[in-house]
Amino acid sequence: MKKVVKNILVWSVIVVMIFFAINFYIIKSTKDQIFAIQDNISEQQTALLLGARVYDDGRLSHIMEDRALTAVELYQDKKVDKILISGDHGTSQYDEVNAIKDYLINKNIAPEDIFTDHAGFDTYDSVYRARDIFEVDSMIIVTQDFHLPRAVYIANSLGVKSIGVIADRRDYRDKERNQIRESIARVKAFLNVVFKAEPKFLGDKILIIGDSSDSWD
């Protein structure tokens, strides 16, 4: 019995060490690719605007609104030519993508420069589909600071030229919970890369240099 308990403890320590090593590696390896909006950011083809919660009435959550505002600023400053919205539109009752699209249009972003990915169910799928479905050459990933290392790591691993821009514009609720969830999500992303996972959906190509309305529903 003592031997069993000892083995469990040893393996528990190993698992914890691997968990923290993966998190450290992802954060450390992407550090030089993450910038604040006021930095001298290099121009890229597309802003990948990662989805987050929207409300039933179409309002964006604070986290999502700050991502959208950051993408608007990058577009207006001519740091990107296109904006690719990638979010969850898995059911007719929940639609991140069109809520964000309407928000951008209300901020005077040209509709022909707004592309929508309705199957960006997680960050890995969003980056993978940006590469394979939309054929994005280079991108600025727009999301919060805690999320960016994972997103940029995935892009690096999939061979997509990218940098990340921090979208934090206020303090957010559940900050500690977000950090814990993100540390777990980094391990999942690492495993997705190692095992060469594919997105839930792929489908026909919608080139980012083509007609944006082809991506709308």
Task: Give 38-82 pLDDT, tens digit per residue.
Answer: 999 999 999 999 999 999 899 999 999 999 999 999 999 999 999
Q: Is the pLDDT of residue 4 over 80?
A: no
- Domains of the chain, each with CATH number or no CATH: 2-215 (3.40.50.620)
| Residue 106 · residue 136 · CB < 8 Å | no
The pTM for the full model equals 0.95
Q: Is the pLDDT of residue 92 over 80?
A: no
Spell out the residues 6+ positions from residue 191 whose beta carbon is closer than 8 angstroms to its own.
197
pLDDT bracket for residue 93 (50, 70, 90): confident
**CA distance from start to end of the chain:** 60
